[in-house]
Amino acid sequence: MTTTDVLRRFNRTYTQRIGALDESFLGLGLPLGASRLVFEIGEAGATVRDLRARLGLDSGQLARQLRRLEDDGLVAMEPDAADRRRRTVRLTAEGRAFRRRLDDRSEQLAERLVAPLTTRQQERLTEALATADLLVRAATVDIRSVHPASVEAKRAVQSYFDELDERFPTGFDPGDHHDDEHMAPGTGAFVVASSDGEPVACGGVQALAPAMGEIKRMWVHPGWRGAGLGSRLLRHLEHVSADLGHRVVRLDTNGTLVEAIAMYERAGYRHIERYNGNPYAQAWFEKDLTDARR
Amino acid sequence: MTTTDVLRRFNRTYTQRIGALDESFLGLGLPLGASRLVFEIGEAGATVRDLRARLGLDSGQLARQLRRLEDDGLVAMEPDAADRRRRTVRLTAEGRAFRRRLDDRSEQLAERLVAPLTTRQQERLTEALATADLLVRAATVDIRSVHPASVEAKRAVQSYFDELDERFPTGFDPGDHHDDEHMAPGTGAFVVASSDGEPVACGGVQALAPAMGEIKRMWVHPGWRGAGLGSRLLRHLEHVSADLGHRVVRLDTNGTLVEAIAMYERAGYRHIERYNGNPYAQAWFEKDLTDARR
DNA sequence: GAGAACCTCTGACTAAAGTCAGAGAATGAC
DNA sequence: GTCATTCTCTGACTTTAGTCAGAGGTTCTC
């Protein structure tokens, strides 16, 4: 059986048996769509814009649904302080109570579903689903080029720095890295991979010399490792670098990042001499892009 | 993370990313429901009754959908020869062509979904989904008591006999087993586990002596082993036996059925002396039900 | 062969979801 | 300051899905 066979077979099993998890939202007085909406708004609230993107609804449709929830006293809406074209939606106390009821229902149904399985089988199921979840999410990650000064880029880079600071024995001080400008479109590129709007990986390319690129700020969210996201991003960055006219690409890394080093080696990078003054770097790599160019 | 957490998280991932597999049915001129119906009818055709059960549709709803498909020239309907209350639905040439287009779409979407993954990752995904599929199916199997002379029981028992005939070096001859009457409600019981209308496991209980039951015809479909269905069925039969007033239950088995023997031992059965003249039996077991009683 | 049970279909609905054009306010770019 | 763009909302639909009672056949049971 091929992957697609299994996937499609699973899809059938799924819609027939687990798909009912969604239907647990029924019977509490709201239609399915409205319940999903309450669930999606969440404890923290959300902007109308976000909801539309996440649920893939027509704007008119969503506006009507929200008004109904407002009339029912489940949500309160107010203009977004930062951008007054937007409106933020927040659950009222009543709305939160309703959401909790939805949550309970869903939980009960999930429990009932797995109840016939032994503990051992439940563990196997958990493991299988977690694996499938990670891989499916990884496969559907959205890889996009953004400006290094954009909010998305900054958030991703911040996560990267935070992790370095934790992992390096001496901590990590990014200095005032105005050099991010080098990764702006034109001379370089910055790429963010995101899932559900959260950055899960990033990386940039800048020019070191004519026809020579450098990959920097490469990072994969800890919860997303082991799904091949790093290699995919690396390959992507190599293509970007090649498109910028580079024939060779270099990068440096710290010795504590052993997984990263292993990945670079697997990807065809070879160790070279120190080529920069980065105080945190302990290994330097180079790869010829001319034959990797698809 | 508990099993239900993972299940529910996966449910979200699923509806957002793979759920679109269903939507691949859209955009070919028929609404989703009608497309699903064409797909479900399949190359072989089906009875209206079957379709209603499989898709969980209201009979009026289904009748209308079918008539629409008939008007569109995609299906042809005729009374069932065996039971003229029923009607069988069959795809016309045009209907089959349409179904193939649906199939292609779905396949393409599945391919596109897994394309970003490496071969190794695709294998992991396949394995994880297959495991999840088996376990979810096993968890949602429908275990029901039926009359041993019913069609369902006979089909399951036939599968059992066929397998014995294959596995025993000397083949297997059931003889004329009028003794199935002993498993009729009142003195005994016969249980069939089915999934999507197909029997996947069965087993019966009959009385050997006052307060002593015997478990017979226990079988699990080969494709369903390793999901704990056997143990679950065995436990179920023990309860049935106990409900019939038995304090002890016995069973016999052939030496070639090594998985079965291991299962009986795990379930607390102990080997005893031959207690019957079954020529195919090579191992005899007994279990005290008085302390196992739920 | 009478009556219960079963299967499918029609009619008459209601509810939910989805579509599309465009109005009105806020913001960003020049 | 003007103009294009963005965001949300309203109105006026159409389509799809789902519900329920009951008619009109067929088959099973005794």
pLDDT at B47 over 80: yes
Provide the chain A residues 128-157 that lie in CB contact (below 8 A) with chain B: 128-133, 135-141
- Asked if residue A258 lies in contact with residue A277, where contact means CB atoms within 8 angstroms, the answer is no
Coil/strand/helix, residue B227: coil
pLDDT at A97 over 90: yes
How many angstroms separate the CA atoms of B213 and B207, rounded?
4
Q: What is the mean pLDDT of chain A?
A: 86
Which band of pLDDT confidence, cut at 50, 70 and 90, is reported for residue B293?
very low
Q: Please indicate if any CB of chain A lies within 8 Å of the CB of B116.
A: yes
| Residue A279, C-beta contacts closer than 8 angstroms, at least 6 positions apart | none
Q: Among the listed ranges B35-49, B52-66, B180-194, which one has the minimum average pLDDT value?
A: B180-194
User: pLDDT for A196-220, tens place per residue?
Assistant: 777 899 999 999 988 999 999 999 9
User: pLDDT for A215-240, tens place per residue?
Assistant: 999 999 988 887 888 999 999 999 99
Q: Among the listed ranges A5-9, B102-106, B247-251, which one has the minimum average pLDDT value?
A: A5-9
User: pLDDT for A149-190, tens place per residue?
Assistant: 777 788 888 888 888 888 777 777 766 655 577 888 878 889
Nearest to B280 by CA among B259, B251, B237, B241: B251
Please give the full DSSP string across chain A, using - where no structure is assigned.
--HHHHHHHHHHHHHHHTTHHHHTTTTSSS-HHHHHHHHHHTTT-EEHHHHHHHHT--HHHHHHHHHHHHHTTSEEEEE-SS-TTSEEEEE-HHHHHHHHHHHHHHHHHHHHHHTTS-HHHHHHHHHHHHHHHHHHHHHT-EEEEE-TTSHHHHHHHHHHHHHHHHHSTT-------GGGGGGSBTTBEEEEEEETTEEEEEEEEEEEETTEEEEEEEEE-GGGTTSSHHHHHHHHHHHHHHHTT-SEEEEEE-TT-HHHHHHHHHTT-EEE---S--TT--EEEEEE-TTT--
Instruction: Work out the average pLDDT over B49-61.
Output: 89
pLDDT, position B2? 82
> Is B10 close to A132, i.e. CB distance below 8 A?
yes
More confident residue, A260 or A169: A260
> Which residue minimizes Cα–C1' distance to C6?
B85
- Asked if residue A189 lies in contact with residue A142, where contact means CB atoms within 8 angstroms, the answer is no
> Measured between beta carbons, which residues in chain A are less than 8 angstroms from residue B140?
17, 113, 116
Which nucleotide is closest to B61, CA to C1'?
A: D18
Please return the burial class of A184, using the count of CB atoms within 10 Å of its CB with bins 0-12, 13-18 and 19+: middle
**Is the minimum distance from the CB of A154 to strand D below 7 Å?**
no
Residue B290 CB neighbours (<10 A)? 10
Q: Among the listed ranges A6-20, A136-150, A231-245, B91-105, which one has the minimum average pLDDT value?
A: A6-20
Cα A177 from chain centroid?
24
Chain A CA closest to residue B4: A110
Window A30-49, strand D contacts by Cβ < 7 Å: 47-49
Percent of chain B residues topping a pLDDT of 70: 95
Which domains does chain B show, CATH number per domain?
A: 3-116 (1.10.10.10), 142-288 (3.40.630.30)
User: pLDDT for A16-41, tens place per residue?
Assistant: 777 667 777 777 788 888 999 999 99
The partner residue sitting opposite A139, judged by closest CB among B14, B117, B136, is B117
Which nucleotide is closest to A61, CA to C1'?
A: C18
- Give A269→chain B minimum CA distance, Å: 19
pLDDT, position A294? 44
**Is the minimum distance from the CB of A101 to strand D below 7 Å?**
no
How many angstroms separate the CA atoms of B249 and B261, rounded?
15
The partner residue sitting opposite B8, judged by closest CB among A1, A21, A135, is A21
Identify the bridge partners of residue A175 per DSSP, sorted by sequence position.
Answer: none
User: pLDDT for B200-226, tens place per residue?
Assistant: 999 999 999 889 999 999 999 988 887
pLDDT, position A182? 80
**Is the minimum distance from the CB of B55 to strand D below 7 Å?**
no
Calculate the angstrom distance between C1' of C29 and CA of A86. 20
pLDDT, position B177? 56
Coil/strand/helix, residue B198: strand
- Give B112→chain A minimum CA distance, Å: 9
How many angstroms separate the CA atoms of B279 and B74, rounded?
55
Provide the chain A residues 44-83 that lie in CB contact (below 8 A) with chain B: none
The β-bridge relationship of strands A189-195 and A142-146 is antiparallel
DSSP state of B188: B
Provide the chain A residues 232-271 that lie in CB contact (below 8 A) with chain B: 232
Q: Please indicate if any CB of chain A lies within 8 Å of the CB of B23.
A: no
**Is the minimum distance from the CB of B34 to strand D below 7 Å?**
yes
How many angstroms separate the CA atoms of B129 and B109, rounded?
17
pLDDT, position B143? 87
Token pair for B236: 């179920």
Token pair for A30: 């709201």
The partner residue sitting opposite B122, judged by closest CB among A3, A120, A128, is A3
User: pLDDT for A34-79, tens place per residue?
Assistant: 999 999 999 888 999 989 888 888 999 999 999 999 999 999 998 8
Buried b (16+ CB within 10 A) or exposed e, B166-203: eeeeeebeeeeeeebebbeeeebbbbbbbbeeebbbbb
How many angstroms separate the CA atoms of B106 and B38, rounded?
14
**Is the minimum distance from the CB of B59 to strand D below 7 Å?**
yes
DSSP state of B28: S
> Which residue minimizes Cα–C1' distance to D9?
A63
In strand D, the nucleotides that come within 7 Å of a protein beta carbon are 6-12, 15-22, 24-28
User: pLDDT for B76-88, tens place per residue?
Assistant: 998 888 888 889 9
Calculate the angstrom distance between C1' of D30 and CA of B59. 30
In strand C, the nucleotides that come within 7 Å of a protein beta carbon are 6-12, 15-22, 24-28
pLDDT at B150 over 80: no
Q: Among the listed ranges A150-159, B22-31, B70-79, B95-104, which one has the minimum average pLDDT value?
A: B22-31
> Is A114 close to B138, i.e. CB distance below 8 A?
no
Which band of pLDDT confidence, cut at 50, 70 and 90, is reported for residue A275?
very high
Instruction: Work out the average pLDDT over B218-238.
Output: 89
Nearest to A128 by CA among A285, A274, A6: A6
Token pair for B235: 């436990």
Residue A121 CA neighbour count, 13 Å, CB half: 22
Please give the sequence-ordered ranges of beta strands (E in DSSP) within B163-262, or none if there are none. Answer: 189-195, 198-209, 212-220, 248-253
Buried b (16+ CB within 10 A) or exposed e, A133-152: bbbbbbbbbebeebbbeeeb
Which nucleotide is closest to B70, CA to C1'?
A: C9
Q: Please indicate if any CB of chain B lies within 8 Å of the CB of A20.
A: no
Calculate the angstrom distance between C1' of D6 and CA of A61. 18
Residue A282 CB neighbours (<10 A)? 14
pLDDT at B74 over 90: yes
Rounded to a whole number of angstroms, the distance between the first and last alpha carbons of chain A is 30
- Asked if residue A199 lies in contact with residue A159, where contact means CB atoms within 8 angstroms, the answer is yes
pLDDT, position A175? 67
Task: Label residue A196 left, alpha or beta by phi (over 0 means left) and psi (-120 to 50 means alpha).
Answer: left
Q: Among the listed ranges A108-122, A201-215, B82-96, B259-273, which one has the minimum average pLDDT value?
A: A108-122
Maximum distance among all Cα pairs of chain A, rounded to whole angstroms: 68
Q: Please indicate if any CB of chain A lies within 8 Å of the CB of B119.
A: no
Identify the bridge partners of residue B180 per DSSP, sorted by sequence position.
Answer: none
How many angstroms separate the CA atoms of A204 and A188, rounded?
7
Main-chain phi, psi angles of B272, to 5 degrees = -135, 175
How many angstroms separate the CA atoms of B251 and B48, rounded?
41
Calculate the angstrom distance between C1' of C21 and CA of A184. 39
pLDDT, position B241? 93
